[in-house]
Amino acid sequence: MTSGLPRMGHALAGAIVLTALCGAAGLLPVLAAEAPRTGAPPGLDLSAPGVAWAGFVAPKEPNYAIARLFNDFANPATGLGPVTDGPDHPYANNEVAREMRIPPTYRVADLNNAAGKNLKPWVREALARQNELVLRGRNGETREARCWETGVPAFHLNPGLMHIIQMPREVVLFLTGRARHIWLDVPHSANPRPSWYGESVGHYEGDTLVVDTIGFNDRTFVDSYRTPHTDKLHVVERFRLIDGGNTLEVAFTVDDPGAFYQPWSGTRNRHRVVNPNARPVEFDCPAFNDDYFNIGLEPVPTAEKPDF
Amino acid sequence: MKVSCVCGIGVSFAVALTSAAAAAPDISGTYWATSYSPAIQVLGGGSPPLNAAGKAAYEKIQAGLKDGSIVDKARRVCVPDGVPRVLATPYPFEIFQVPTGQVTFLYEMNHQVRVVVMDKPLPPRQTLIVDAKYNGHSVGRWDGDTLVVESAGFNEWTFLDASGLPHGDEMTTVERIVKVGNQLEDVITIHDPEMYERDWQARFVYDERNDVRLEDYACNDTHRDLSGVKGVRR
């Protein structure tokens, strides 16, 4: 019995020769058959081979406005936005530091702007304590840098490559060895077990993927300032392509009556990168991540007793 | 007249190719083992054929795990298990065949990802050494209904099973993965002359479980109930 491969090669050769005679039409059914079933609308194909979505692409010339968004949310067009830095302690991430040639800092949250005033007292106090720690030179690392699961919407903050797999019943987001599952066209469970990324259900509205997530645990932060939340957190994300398909915009709204007076919104843009050699990576974060400089880093997640 | 006749043949060729492409096996879905063994079970019975160096390494690892001088980081801080240990996982996992050019394995346990590259050869030896990974580098091809996966470029920080079975850093593996009915079978061949007298095999079988959703997993969290998986002791 001959294997499938030579047969296919022979047929392909035939198809190419005859396509040359007949025009492109002869090859169309072939392409259609090879395209995997993703269920994605034509305007929101996010999982083409070799395509990934970068949270940051360095501009050719130093650009503070772009560098500032290296690993932060952008404000929404209107309405309340995320917690940010303030004029007293402007934040310089590593990319700002590199481009502007200034020393990098840790984050100090502005508790007096609109986003700061939107925090319930216990959240405000938690951030005030964190600010104080950072100003004393202690731990200002993000939760993600300590290898914890990031939660939503903080999942989007990493500047690295996001790989997306779209299928008819599920969309999977891969980023830095972490994964999120979005279940399509199903309702929420009655009582989802609290989890790091919650229960995400989604559907396509035209060329937009709308994702609704509840069922979170209260062990993550919603941002890199370490803004806590409760298990009442409810996040709606809208994924769509802009800039002719070169930018994936994720616009989200965060609602948590246990932590915030009003819902607030933010956006995070990712840039289309074509690199056939870049694939989802393994999660090796905890391998070498001790507190080498003794600056009070929280430990990486550690199981004193093996899971099984 | 003649041209249209040729085009007719062209269409039939295209249809032949279409059916060949459509016939590419679909093993995507969610799978879950029904049993677990901390010590890898050698196909055909017996113990893994350790050579002298392998026996010495195994004794040293087992003593270290016992007195705490060696830490099983895959369980303590949840780094990836490595191959073949990940194949023994008592948690479910999912296989994706989107996008084309790769078959992606996503394990619930510590959200381990294995990408089997279908459209490129293994990287050159220098890359495998410099960029060694817990689960190695994997390339695959279809042999009929069977996905044949070759892996190399494993780092030196994994054990082959939970008992601490050793491997050398030039270990290579070949897996033959096939779906039969509602089960998936993975027969792996271990090639590691540094630690073993000869090549040996192990076989892992999983039930198709598309009724199961993969859950979030973080080290030291409360995880899925595994009481349905024989051999798991918590």
- What pLDDT is stored for residue B23 in this prediction? 55
Q: What pLDDT shows up at residue B10?
A: 41
Going by the DSSP 8-state scheme, the letter that residue B111 receives in this structure is: G
Inspect the interface and report whether the beta carbons of A307 and B223 lie closer than 8 Å. yes
Best to test chain B binding among A164, A184, A308 (most B CBs inside 10 Å): A308
Residues 6 or more apart in contact with residue B204 via CB below 8 angstroms: B33, B84, B87, B88, B185, B186, B187, B188
**Amino acid in position A236:** V
Residues 263-302 of A with CB under 8 A from B: 276-277, 279-284, 286-287, 300-302
A303 vs B76, B112, B117: nearest CB: B76
* Predicted pLDDT of residue A139: 78
Query: What stretches in chain A show pLDDT beneath 70?
Result: 1-35
> Which of A102-106, A283-287, B52-56, B69-73 comes out lowest in average pLDDT?
A283-287
Contacts of A38 in chain B (CB under 8 A): 98
Q: d(Cα A218, Cα A126) in Å, to the nearest integer?
A: 14
β-pair partners for B42: B202
B220 in A contact zone (CB under 8 Å) = yes
Cα torsion A209, A210, A212, A213: sign: positive
Please report the residues numbered 102 through 121 in chain B whose beta carbons come closer than 8 angstroms to any beta carbon of chain A. 102, 104, 106, 109-115, 117, 119-120
* B19 pLDDT above the threshold of 70: no
| Dihedrals phi, psi of B6, to nearest 5 degrees | -60, -40
- C-alpha A95/C-alpha B207 separation (Å) is 47
Alpha-helical runs (H) found in chain A: 4-22, 28-34, 64-67, 94-100, 114-117, 121-135
pLDDT at B17 over 50: no
The 10s digit of each residue's pLDDT in B88-133 is 999 999 999 999 999 999 999 999 999 999 999 999 999 999 999 9
Any CB–CB contact under 8 A between B1 and chain A? no
Q: Read off the tokens for B25.
A: 């096996």
* Dist CA A232 CA A12 (whole Å): 56
pLDDT tens by residue, B172-204: 999 999 999 999 999 999 999 999 999 999 999
Contact B177, B156 (CB under 8 A): no
Summarize the confidence of residues B20-37 as an average pLDDT. Answer: 85
What are chain B's domains?
25-208 (2.40.128.20)
Phi-psi region of B164 (alpha: psi -120 to 50; beta: other; left: phi over 0): left
Tell whether B138 is within 8 A of chain A (Cβ): no
| Closest approach of A120 to chain B, Cα-based (Å) | 28
Model ipTM value: 0.89
The beta-carbon neighbor of B112 closest among A27, A149, A282 is: A282
Question: Testing the interface with A: which of B98, B118, B223, B225 to mutate, by most A Cβ within 10 A?
Answer: B98
CB contact under 8 A, A280 and B115: yes
Q: How many CB pairs under 8 A join A and B?
A: 185
**Amino acid code (one letter) for B30:** T
- Strand, coil or helix: B153: coil
Please indicate whether, in this complex, the C-beta atoms of B75 and A307 are within 8 angstroms of each other.
yes
**Would you state the pLDDT for residue A296?**
79
Which chain B residue has its CA at the smallest distance from A167's CA? B98
| B76 interfacial to chain A (CB closer than 8 Å) | yes
Residue of B nearest to A220 (CA): B218
What is the pLDDT, as a whole number, of residue A138?
84
Q: In the structure encoding, which two tokens stand for residue B182, read together?
A: 């509602």
Dist. CA A114–CA A75, nearest whole Å: 12
pLDDT tens, position by position, A251-291: 999 999 999 999 999 999 999 999 999 999 999 898 887 77
